[in-house]
């Protein structure tokens, strides 16, 4: 037997748990997990002694900003950050210019990924054109995405064409998506309640980061809880698989837990800012650079609990870069600032750092960043797992490497990170996509256009079906 690559001496994190073994790679797939004394001819060997060998992250919530907002980031710069952060598959979001809402705009985005992406990719178009749902599903997408929100005081990051607010329209869309079997990502938001709550804050003249943060968390997160209750009930009524973005309140987590117990096909995600960047101190010291949202302490405790017990299935970055100019206005006019924070470059390392701090188990982290997103978004057995036959999407990490994140390390066009100055205890050393290094020894080495559409080819689907039948 001759193979392309042997990753030797590391601790391989498999679906059955960590095992000290060598990982064999051939033809872009995992070819074996063997003991060190098993003789195999290999074209190349990577020494991973003392390191973890992990599946690459499957990040189903990434804002690439291309087309339309390339001054913030683009597909190439986003996937450079992905490679450095151990993310081997990204799913882009539709809030672009023009928004991704039909076959024509989806084809354009696919072409852009194919020419620029360093890692594998997919894209989540908005299903706001009813007659385009089936044709877009046929193009190989693994999810749709909508926003239940209209921006106040700005037209971005939630542009026209990507939102559904009427509940009847939402149910109609769910009925149609249910026919495809594809998961439906929903940004929950009760617009009517938010209009009232925002109006009260702005009437007081409080257009500060603190006012904004308080409004979105007002009354224990009522705008999130009521919207998620609606989404869960409509998912149950339609049979549409749904995925809740931005989970951040105790009541919402409890609602998802109950829905799962009833058999509703629902997943939910935690974004980097919720466990790691959402305290009141962050709001006061970083202001617009920390918003996204404020998560009060009781809700943050519920998030960690949900991460540990599996109610929160998935860790997705919600990578959302904006320039300093677009953030700075927020110190005095927060409702005019672009909200969202960059996160794809450091999320996996922050999660592994949480393992070292005893806040999460290693198995739970791997499930959240890799195994579950792959399984729930139609890539089971292909992505997010280190087993024979799966794509060789691999991360080699040192869990005993203390270092400090700085703006100097940032690979985004915006040149800043809200984690500037934060010291963590883990470091990703290498990232491989389908057996080829895209990040190694502190440098991105992947080539633009190497990334491919992340989908389960017909022959792989047949292999998996046959395997399940045995």
Bridge partner residues of 396 (DSSP)? 53, 430
Q: Which of 423, 428, 420 is nearest to 444 (CA)?
A: 428
Q: Is 408 in the active site?
A: no
- 316, 93 contact by CB (below 8 A): no
Question: Between these two residues, 469 and 211, which has the higher pLDDT value?
Answer: 211
Per-residue model confidence as pLDDT tens digits over 327-337: 999 999 999 99
Give the residue-averaged pLDDT of 258-284.
98
Confidence of residue 162 (pLDDT cuts 50, 70, 90): confident
Which residue blocks in 271-328 are alpha helix, DSSP H?
A: 273-276, 280-286, 297-309, 324-328
Angle between the 218-238 and 167-180 helix axes, to the nearest 10 degrees?
50
Q: What's the chain's length in residues? A: 470
Cα→Cα distances 413→10, 36, 84, 201, 247, Å: 34, 43, 15, 33, 28
Query: What tokens appear for 282 in the block?
Result: 């962050």
**The pLDDT value given to residue 168:** 95
What letter would DSSP give residue 131?
G
Cβ burial 93-115 (10 Å sphere, 16+ → b, else e)? bbbbeebbbbeebbeebbebbee
- 333, 77 contact by CB (below 8 A): no
Query: What tokens appear for 416 in the block?
Result: 């800043």
Q: Which of 53, 1, 44 is nearest to 23 (CA)?
A: 53
From CA 234, how far away is CA 254, in angstroms rounded?
17
Statement: residue 465 has pLDDT above 60 = no
Count CB atoms within 10 A of the CB of residue 281: 9
Give the residue-averaged pLDDT of 105-115.
98
> In which element (H, E) is residue 236 found?
helix 218-238
From CA 99, how far away is CA 210, in angstroms rounded?
31
CB-based burial label for 468 (10 Å; 0-12, 13-18, 19+):
exposed
Query: What tokens appear for 327 in the block?
Result: 């953030």
- Over its C-alpha atoms, the chain yields an Rg (Å, rounded) of 21
Confidence of residue 149 (pLDDT cuts 50, 70, 90): confident
Tell me the HSE value of 107 on the side-chain side, using a 13 A CA sphere. 6
Judged by DSSP in three states, 442 sits in: coil
Cβ burial 4-24 (10 Å sphere, 16+ → b, else e)? bbbbbbbbbbbeeebeebbbb
Per-residue model confidence as pLDDT tens digits over 302-356: 999 999 999 999 999 999 999 999 999 999 999 999 999 999 999 999 999 999 9
From CA 228, how far away is CA 224, in angstroms rounded?
6
Q: Which of 307, 97, 332 is nearest to 205 (CA)?
A: 332
Statement: residue 456 has pLDDT above 80 = no
**The pLDDT value given to residue 342:** 98
| Average of per-residue pLDDT values in the chain | 95
Confidence of residue 150 (pLDDT cuts 50, 70, 90): low
Q: Which domains does the chain have, with CATH numbers?
A: 2-53+389-469 (2.30.40.10), 57-376 (3.20.20.140)
CA-angle at 458, arms to 454 and 463, nearest 5° = 105
What letter would DSSP give residue 339?
P
Cα→Cα distances 170→11, 110, 177, 195, 406, Å: 46, 26, 10, 20, 42
Count CB atoms within 10 A of the CB of residue 262: 9
Statement: residue 410 has pLDDT above 50 = yes
Percentage of the chain with pLDDT > 90?
Answer: 92
Q: Which of 16, 11, 104 is nearest to 396 (CA)?
A: 11
**Is residue 67 reached through a cis peptide bond, with omega within 30 degrees of 0 on the bond before it?**
yes
Active-site choice (318, 353, 391, 393): 318
Confidence of residue 163 (pLDDT cuts 50, 70, 90): confident
Give the residue-averaged pLDDT of 71-88.
98
Bridge partner residues of 83 (DSSP)? none
Per-residue model confidence as pLDDT tens digits over 220-264: 999 999 999 999 999 999 999 999 999 999 999 999 999 999 999
**The pLDDT value given to residue 321:** 98
> In which element (H, E) is residue 461 found?
helix 458-469
Which residue blocks in 8-96 are alpha helix, DSSP H?
A: 75-84
> In which element (H, E) is residue 244 found?
strand 242-244
Taking the alpha carbons at both ends of the chain, their separation in whole angstroms is 26
CA dihedral 465, 467, 468, 470 (to 10 degrees): 130
CB-based burial label for 309 (10 Å; 0-12, 13-18, 19+):
exposed
Judged by DSSP in three states, 9 sits in: coil
Q: Which of 31-35, 90-94, 159-163, 305-309 has the lowest mean pLDDT?
A: 159-163
Confidence of residue 464 (pLDDT cuts 50, 70, 90): very low
Confidence of residue 470 (pLDDT cuts 50, 70, 90): very low
The answer to whether the pTM exceeds 0.85 is yes
Tell me the HSE value of 242 on the side-chain side, using a 13 A CA sphere. 31
Bridge partner residues of 436 (DSSP)? 433
């Amino acid at each position: 037997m001759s193979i392309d690559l042997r990753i030797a001496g590391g601790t391989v994190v498999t679906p059955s748990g960590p095992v000290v073994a060598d990982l064999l790679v051939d033809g872009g797939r995992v070819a074996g997990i063997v003991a060190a004394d098993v003789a195999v001819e290999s074209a190349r060997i990577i020494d991973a002694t003392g390191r973890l060998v992990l599946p690459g992250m499957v990040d189903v919530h990434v804002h690439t900003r291309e087309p339309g907002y390339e001054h913030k980031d683009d597909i190439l710069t986003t996937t450079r950050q992905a490679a450095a952060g151990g993310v081997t598959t990204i799913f882009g979001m539709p809030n672009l210019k023009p928004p991704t809402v039909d076959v024509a705009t989806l084809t354009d985005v696919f072409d852009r990924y194919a020419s620029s992406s360093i890692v594998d990719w997919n894209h989540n178009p908005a299903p706001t054109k009813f007659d385009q749902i089936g044709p877009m599903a046929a193009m190989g997408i693994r999810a749709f995405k909508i926003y239940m929100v209209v921006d106040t005081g700005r037209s971005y990051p939630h542009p026209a064409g990507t939102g559904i607010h009427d509940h009847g329209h939402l149910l109609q869309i769910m009925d149609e998506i249910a026919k495809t079997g594809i998961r439906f990502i929903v940004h929950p938001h009760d617009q009517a309640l938010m209009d009232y709550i925002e109006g009260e804050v702005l009437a007081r003249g409080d257009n500060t980061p603190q006012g904004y943060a308080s409004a979105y968390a007002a009354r224990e997160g009522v705008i999130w809880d009521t919207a998620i209750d609606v989404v869960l009930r409509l998912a149950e009524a339609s049979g549409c698989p749904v995925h809740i973005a931005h989970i951040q309140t105790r009541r919402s987590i409890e609602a998802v837990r109950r829905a799962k117990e009833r058999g509703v096909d629902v997943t939910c995600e935690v974004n980097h800012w919720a466990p790691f960047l959402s305290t009141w101190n962050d709001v006061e010291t970083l202001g617009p650079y920390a918003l996204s949202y404020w998560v009060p302490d009781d809700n943050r405790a519920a998030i960690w609990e949900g991460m540990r017990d599996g109610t929160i299935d998935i860790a997705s970055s919600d990578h959302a870069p904006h320039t300093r100019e677009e953030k700075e206005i927020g110190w005095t006019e927060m409702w005019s600032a672009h909200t969202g924070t960059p996160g794809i470059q450091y999320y996996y390392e922050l999660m592994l750092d949480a393992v070292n701090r005893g806040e999460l188990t290693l198995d739970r982290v791997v499930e959240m960043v890799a195994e579950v997103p792959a399984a729930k978004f139609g890539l089971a057995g292909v992505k997010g797992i280190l087993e024979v036959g799966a794509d060789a999407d691999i991360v080699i990490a040192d869990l005993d490497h203390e270092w400090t994140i700085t703006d100097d390390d940032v690979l985004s066009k915006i040149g800043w990170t809200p984690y500037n100055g934060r010291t963590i205890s883990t470091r990703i050393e290498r990232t491989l996509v389908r057996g080829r290094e895209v990040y190694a020894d502190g440098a991105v080495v992947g080539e633009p256009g190497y990334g491919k559409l992340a989908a389960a080819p017909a022959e792989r689907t047949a292999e998996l079906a046959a395997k399940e039948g045995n």
